[in-house]
Amino acid sequence: MSTTAYTIEIHDEGDGYLWGQVVELPGCFVSGADMDELMAAAAEAIPMYLADGPGQNGNVVAFPERAGRPGVVPTKAKILLEA
């Protein structure tokens, strides 16, 4: 099995919620109240997005550590999926 990393561009609109776009998957968007919720949403959204493609069944195998200081939202995050 191979592992694929996906880049999520994260946006903080200042209204208490974050949203992100999976760079490698046009039209795949996620949102959450914090980074943990956003990454959990990505773990659900990416395999669903890939399910339409042949042989693409993604399973989350790891989340990388969040970079930066507590309370600081990075502009990008990575999620690793097993294909």
Tokens in use for 11?
């946006």
Q: Which of 38, 27, 41 is closest to 75 using CA atoms?
A: 38
Chain mean pLDDT for the chain: 74
- Exposed / middle / buried, residue 54 (Cβ in 10 Å: 0-12, 13-18, 19+): exposed
Q: What is the mean pLDDT of residues 49-67?
A: 51
pLDDT at 4: 85
The residue type of 72 is V
Architecture of domain 3-82 in CATH?
2-Layer Sandwich (3.30)
For tokens 């659900």, the residue is 44
Q: What is the pTM of this model?
A: 0.65
Higher pLDDT, 10 or 52: 10
